[in-house]
Structure 1
Amino acid sequence: MRLLLGSIAIIAAGAMPAEAAQVLITAEEAALPPPKGAIATERRGITRGPKVDLLTGGGQLRSPMRLQLKFEPYGGAKIDPDSVKMTYLRTPNVDLTSRVKSFVGPRGIDMPEVELPAGEHMVRVDVKDTDGRVGTTSFILKVVP
């Protein structure tokens, strides 16, 4: 009986895929119309709110790719990882927060393998620090086939 159970465990383990890439945006979501008049911006102005920087290389990207963002708090505050929200800017907007939550830390977001369909994808990231100040940035990921 032990031998049989051991064989079943090996078969089940062999059937599991190796670390699969996280789907950030589906083809169906990418097919939604873009918001009218939207442009990628960083809302900084005169504020001590946290800064959000996209570290993933600009230009044309290939999927799967690594998605990295860096959070920079100011004035001795710390980033509140539970406040991070990521939104795919479409009509209607798509909340991506649950897809990135396990990759969020106090220093940023680091997703080693992200699947995105080909096209231009405008994403907004909002974050708060422990003093309640908000930082927001928008960026476009240009993915080639």
Structure 2
Amino acid sequence: MKRNVLLGIAAAALLVSAPSRATQLITEEEAKLPPPKGAVEVQQRGILRGPKVEFVSPGDAASSPLRLVLKFQSYGGAKVDPNSVKVIFLRTPNVDLTPRVKPFVQADGINMQDAELPPGEYTVRVDIKDSDGRPGTAVFTLKVAPK
């Protein structure tokens, strides 16, 4: 009985001392970079055969760490190529977030459970291609509330 209690205490101590599993998406230094001039959200209209990127989560303003979810949709039997995904934080100069997001990319989207960002508004562009080489792009704004 004492051994089980000691094992339980040791396991709890490991959980408490374990590092955070949050992934730093945007650093404080990157957040301080000046925004680009004329960057706005883009709504694609018309009939496009290229893949589509849909921003799903977070909603309006979420606290960090937040869940970042994007869905990819392809057309005409083509598949989204996960290796083609590029994620860019639009600043001057732009910051390539692709290596930080890559472990969370799948053919149907991005599901990043604990993305760490400082409070603020961040314009992000996601570029993808399908197996037929057709491009798709989405630009969205992440709004991060203070903790």
TM-score bracket, shorter-length normalisation? 0.7 to 0.9
Q: Which residue of 2 aligns with 1:7?
A: none
Separation in structure 1 between the aligned mates of residue 25 and residue 135 of structure 2, nearest angstrom: 23
Contact 1:44–1:135 (Cα < 8 Å) also in 2: no
Separation in structure 2 between the aligned mates of residue 63 and residue 45 of structure 1, nearest angstrom: 35
For normalisation by structure 2, the TM-score amounts to: 0.85
Residue 118 of structure 1, CA deviation: 0.3
Distance 1:107 1:21, change over 3 A: same
Q: Which residue of 1 aligns with 2:23?
A: 22
What is the correspondence of 1:45-124 to structure 2 with a 5 Å cutoff?
A: 45-124=46-125
Separation in structure 2 between the aligned mates of residue 42 and residue 85 of structure 1, nearest angstrom: 19
Residue 19 of structure 1, CA deviation: 5.0
Contact 1:42–1:136 (Cα < 8 Å) also in 2: no
- The structure 1 segments of at least 4 consecutive aligned residues displaced by more than 6 Å after TM superposition are none
Residue 46 of structure 1, CA deviation: 3.1
Q: What secondary structure does 2:141 align onto?
A: strand
Residue 42 of structure 1, CA deviation: 3.6
Q: Per-residue CA shift, 1:111-142, capped at 9, x if unaligned? A: 01110100000000000000000000000011
Residue 17 of structure 1, CA deviation: 1.9
For normalisation by structure 1, the TM-score amounts to: 0.87
Distance 1:44 1:82, change over 3 A: farther
Separation in structure 1 between the aligned mates of residue 68 and residue 123 of structure 2, nearest angstrom: 14
Structure 2 residue 33 is the aligned partner of structure 1 residue 32: yes
Unaligned runs of 5+ in 1: 1-9
Unaligned runs of 5+ in 2: 1-9
Q: Sequence identity, in percent?
A: 59
Q: Which residue of 1 aligns with 2:7?
A: none
Give the number of aligned pairs: 135
Separation in structure 1 between the aligned mates of residue 43 and residue 22 of structure 2, nearest angstrom: 28
